[in-house]
């Protein structure tokens, strides 16, 4: 049996059992993988694994949504599972076909820039991008360990049958701590790990060497540079016990120092008076049209507005100009879903009811100039992104 036949057989079993779990009233979560598994014809060079998809939505909504390749009232099936994140609006590429524009993809390429994997990830037949659980929640910590224990065996099976040369988990310590906790809950999961430096880890999952790196969506240059410097040492080894962490720390001392200095500077707290000044400068420099000036609310276009506030130490937030008090929990039309996907890729919190997305000032930089410049660029980019929806 060749590898594609093994994958198809895996998909038949996986979709059948995921459907049963998803159909439970207490679960009812949309589920999907990421990359197109139907393109894999030989052992992949790299498998990238996140904790779980982050778009949210229920299984019922997914099955009724024609953008999910016309499932439309049919259950998820093996062919759709194999196609990965195939959600497609009419006349537009599917989510996976658009992955090179995802917020974290450029960061991922930066992380791999000192290895041959930087070129390999451009070939969809040589990589697998997936998740520990295929169930989608807006935030990774919203999926329970119980549900992870029940679903991760299907991902482990995929790892076993495809035998990817390299295995990288996203979200660093957060991911590896959850894997360790899962190993304590299930006899089917054996896992141990150790820190290399920063938020970079190396571990062994059911006998397979794996690397844990921070999720690369909008990380600082210092953190991405550190990951890029460390990864070549980790992928060159296939023996967990023989990895020389002291040597890696010595060879990457400059990058570690720059990363630690950045972390130290980030701890600086901005006074509320400074935040008010930042809000005023952003508004002045961005030349925005107000629709509710008292609350610093401005137009991105005729439909969506941006709030720029000094509350909670400063944040920007997006919602409809004609927003009503019911929030977005019952107003999940396809445009809002698409906008949430864009905002999530740019580091926004998309799980609050009153906002489509919210992002705090501290995510834009460590000093006034960085924050002002970052927010102004963000507003310019958002206007362009929203225009494409």
Q: Which of 165-169, 330-334, 347-351 has the lowest mean pLDDT?
A: 330-334
Q: Is the pLDDT of residue 324 over 70?
A: no
Q: How far from each other are the two terminal CA atoms of the chain, in whole angstroms?
A: 43
CB 359 within 8 A of CB 349: yes
| Whole-Å CA distances, 220 to 111, 197, 250, 363 | 12, 16, 22, 9
Which residue in this structure is represented by tokens 């060879």? 251
- How confident is the model at residue 184, as a pLDDT? 93
Q: Which two tokens stand for residue 120?
A: 């390999």
In angstroms, the CA 149 to CA 180 distance is 11
Closest CA to 199 of 179, 234, 223: 223
Give residues with Cβ within 8 angstroms of 50, minimum separation 6. 34, 130, 131, 132, 140, 169, 170, 171, 175, 215
pLDDT (average), residues 335-339: 84
Q: How would you label 43-76 residue by residue, b for 16+ Cβ within 10 Å and e otherwise?
A: ebbbbbbbbbbbbbbebeebbebebbeebeeeeb
State pLDDT tens for residues 43-64.
999 999 999 998 888 999 999 8
Q: Which two tokens stand for residue 347?
A: 């580091």
- How confident is the model at residue 332, as a pLDDT? 59
Q: Which of 200-204, 292-296, 304-308 has the lowest mean pLDDT?
A: 292-296
pTM: 0.73
């Amino acid at each position: 049996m060749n590898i594609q036949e093994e994958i198809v057989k895996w998909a038949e079993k996986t979709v059948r059992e995921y459907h049963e779990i998803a159909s439970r009233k207490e679960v009812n979560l949309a589920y999907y993988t990421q990359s197109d598994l139907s393109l894999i014809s030989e052992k992949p060079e790299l498998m990238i694994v996140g904790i779980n998809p982050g778009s949210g939505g229920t299984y019922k909504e997914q099955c009724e949504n024609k953008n999910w390749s016309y499932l439309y009232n049919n259950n998820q099936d093996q062919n759709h599972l194999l196609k990965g994140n195939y959600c497609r609006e009419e006349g537009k590429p599917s989510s996976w076909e658009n992955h090179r524009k995802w917020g974290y993809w450029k960061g991922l390429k930066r992380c791999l820039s000192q290895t041959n994997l930087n070129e390999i990830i451009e070939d969809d037949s040589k990589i697998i991008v997936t998740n520990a659980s295929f169930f989608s929640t807006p935030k990774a910590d919203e999926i329970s360990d119980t549900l992870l224990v029940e679903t991760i065996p299907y991902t482990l099976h995929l790892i076993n049958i495809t035998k990817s040369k390299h295995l990288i988990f996203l979200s660093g310590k957060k991911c590896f701590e959850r894997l360790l906790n899962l190993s304590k809950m299930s006899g089917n999961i054996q896992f141990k790990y150790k820190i290399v430096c920063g938020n970079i880890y190396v571990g062994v999952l059911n006998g397979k060497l794996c690397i844990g790196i921070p999720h690369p969506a909008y990380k600082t240059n210092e953190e991405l540079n550190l990951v890029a410097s460390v990864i070549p040492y980790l992928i060159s080894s296939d023996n967990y016990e023989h990895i020389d962490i002291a040597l890696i720390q010595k060879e990457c001392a400059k990058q570690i120092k720059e990363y630690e200095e950045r972390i130290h500077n980030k701890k600086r707290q901005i006074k509320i008076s400074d935040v008010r000044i930042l809000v005023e400068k952003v508004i002045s420099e961005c030349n925005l049209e107000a629709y509710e000036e008292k609350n610093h609310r401005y137009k991105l276009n005729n439909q969506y507005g941006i709030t720029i506030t000094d509350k909670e130490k400063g944040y920007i937030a997006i919602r409809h100009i004609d927003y009503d008090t019911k929030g977005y929990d019952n107003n999940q039309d396809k445009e809002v879903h698409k906008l949430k996907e864009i905002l999530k890729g740019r580091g926004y919190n998309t799980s609050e009811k009153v906002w489509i997305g919210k992002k705090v000032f501290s995510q834009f930089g460590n000093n006034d100039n960085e924050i002002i410049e970052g927010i102004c660029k963000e507003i310019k980019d958002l206007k362009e992104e929203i225009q494409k929806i």
